[in-house]
Amino acid sequence: MSASEAESDLSSDERAGLELIRESGGIHQSDFWKELDISSRKGSRIADVLESLELIKRTQTVYNGHTTYYLEPAARDLQFSMLMAGDMLSPFIGEEEINANSNAFSQWLMNLAYEEY
């Protein structure tokens, strides 16, 4: 089952939980259920469902002196083709300053222009 198929079968609470985890980039489970305004029991069940569907990653941790879980969005099937030109990755990846006149960008752009589809 793909991630999009799994997401379509989620309840409204599970969908809200997944959205919270994705928007926050990660949240402790002890804060997760509080943010959703649900019981810790229900929050734990939602986290279990999302983890079993591989929509989130759940890691045991200690937070504020208590054992809890850290909930993070799972890596989805991402399409990186827009960052590629042939076998070259965009020179802007990981760069803080972008120089459109750089040699690396020119080479990448030329590969992109001559790439066959």
Q: Phi, psi at residue 46, to the nearest 5°?
A: -65, -45
Share of the chain above pLDDT 70, in %: 77
DSSP H or E segment with residue 60: strand 56-63
How confident is the model at residue 107, as a pLDDT?
A: 79
Q: What is the mean pLDDT of residues 100-112?
A: 77
Instruction: Give the SS3 label for residue 100.
Output: coil
pLDDT at residue 72 tops 90: yes
How confident is the model at residue 103, as a pLDDT?
A: 82
Q: For residues 57 and 99, which has the higher predicted lDDT (pLDDT)? A: 57
pTM of the predicted protein model: 0.63
